[in-house]
Chain A
């Protein structure tokens, strides 16, 4: 036997396990979701009527699909200027300074805080502030959830973009400076175009994380199973409705929740594929 062959076999085996697990998850989701789709067909995706009352059961996932996408998009929009500025600060303007090191550490720290802690903070600290500012529904709803979500995804977007920005070759920047470019011009004409695909990838990754976030959202979004009719309305997300109702569910309801899980899986998959496509086009 030679050690190369053994290594090869071990690596192949490990990779196959990963493939097997991913395939297994998809398979069991599809299998569990079949009764729901058989019962409601495509209406499962396009109906906004989620009624678990015995005898009147009807399941439509549109409120949750809408809630998930709206909160994630709003969170991304809120986090975008903040995390982009932070990554320029860390990766270019104050690169290597003590200040940048401290800030970088804080950003990493944000990533390490568990979801439930964000939820608690949002519930006890942020919500009263928003109520004082005149937010309706006692501070619960899409907007509050999106703010928390934005804070949660900032570290992901920031550290990825910072990494990419620091990787821009020094020669390019020096060339631009030698032509008399200002720092801002270097950023807009050299760094951003060079790092574009990496930065976009960072935001797509953050968006993916926002889609699946559960605990903090559940605590703040109001959990009403309707399509939100505005930024300050209450709503619910796909991950949150699963977390809320899975424990009790049986029969058709269980299948409907698994189907919601399958949809979330597919949406995340599509977003990731879309991201890869964008990166390819831009690179």
Chain B
């Protein structure tokens, strides 16, 4: 018995020794180590973020980790103060902003399109008018060879196949952009469904995350759904031309998405770009944002950490990052948005003192 007690004491002594030496080691390595920034949020811009975050790390050594957990998750993570910044495709409403624990600012990072993707073997260049979108997504048209679709697509032979609408089963900023557009073009949709990050769907079935919807459409003949453009392009899923506010059928492209953002942009950059007035614009376009606290001193964060955050965000809206957007089918921010983002970043403070000059 005595032996046992001695052994336990020795173990205790050893382990306490160990931990104290560990602590010293950690402190040392922390001061010499590069800063690590943690972020989480939207999956819609993830292909772009993955690419530019990596190139920032190799350029500066600042480590970045991004969790694609959805826009709502990004907002919640920032609310819980467990990340350095969050990412969302739906900007926070005034009501939501007032409920955050501290003042939050939006930094637009890139422009993207939500495409109407479909899987119909042998059918190319499908054109869908506003009323067709309404009828398909409200469940009023259930067959691909419905006369209304046929008459809108002269010269294309449409199969006798059920329409399977695939939507997101989780909450999503992509859903927000899509439903925001649907609300603008269809009063019926606005009445019965509305807009939001998750909805009560009149028809269809759900799949989880952008990759889930893209994969299900790819695997399912007769499927139609909405996804971030890069997910469609990467899997070579066909996308439909949709009608913009001028009545033109527009294909999602970098030019047509950029055209949607040519209008006036408010100082806080919180604006939806769907159904833009520009005659060449792709109508289901939108900004995606990074959200950060205006006062960076919280939760015991160091000034180093705060400075690394804003420096990175300034780089993210700079030419260096923006010029890479096209590689993954996103459109760079218009000049006006970059200017506004930069001036917003200049209002971010640490203990009341501005971080960027």
Contact = CB atoms under 8 A, between A and B. Distances in A.
A51 B200 contact: yes
Interface residues of B, number: 34
Contacts of A50: 200
Interface in A127-157: 127, 136-138, 140
A250 B72 CA distance: 8
Could you say which of A127, A225, A234, A247 has the most chain B C-beta atoms within 10 Å of its C-beta? A247
Contact of A52 (B73, B76, B199): B199
Contact of B206 (A53, A127, A222, A247): A222
A227 to B, nearest CB: 14
B172 A248 contact: yes
A55 B196 CA distance: 9
A218 B170 CA distance: 11
Give chain A's interface secondary structure class. Answer: loop
B1 to A, nearest CB: 6
Contact of A249 (B71, B72, B172): B72
B141 interface: no
A3 interface: yes
A247 B219 contact: no
Could you say which of A56, A138, A225 has the most chain B C-beta atoms within 10 Å of its C-beta? A138
A54 B171 CA distance: 12
A184 interface: no
B219 A248 contact: no
A250 B219 contact: no
B76 to A, nearest CB: 6
A1 B2 CA distance: 10
B70 A247 contact: yes
B201 A224 contact: yes
A248 B198 contact: yes
Contacts of B197: 52, 54, 248
The size bracket of the interface on A is 20 to 34
A56 B162 CA distance: 30
A115 interface: no
Given A124-B219, A138-B164, A224-B205, A245 B171 contact: yes
A244 B207 CA distance: 9
B279 interface: no
Interface in B177-213: 193-201, 204-208
B223 interface: yes
Interface in A1-31: 1, 3
A223 B198 CA distance: 13
Interface string A230-260: 0000101000000111011110000000000
Contacts of A1: 1
Interface string B219-234: 1111100000000000
A278 B162 CA distance: 47
A213 B76 CA distance: 26
A84 interface: no
Given A224-B206, A244-B170, 16 more contacts: A3-B1, A51-B200, A52-B171, A52-B200, A53-B193, A53-B194, A53-B196, A137-B164, A223-B208, A244-B208, A245-B170, A247-B171, A248-B70, A248-B73, A249-B72, A249-B171
Interface of B: 1, 69-73, 75-76, 79, 162, 164, 169-172, 193-201, 204-208, 219-223
30 contacts: A50-B200, A51-B200, A53-B200, A54-B194, A54-B195, A54-B196, A54-B197, A55-B194, A56-B200, A123-B219, A138-B220, A138-B221, A223-B206, A224-B204, A224-B206, A225-B200, A234-B205, A244-B170, A244-B208, A247-B72, A247-B73, A247-B171, A248-B70, A248-B71, A248-B171, A248-B172, A248-B197, A249-B72, A249-B171, A250-B76
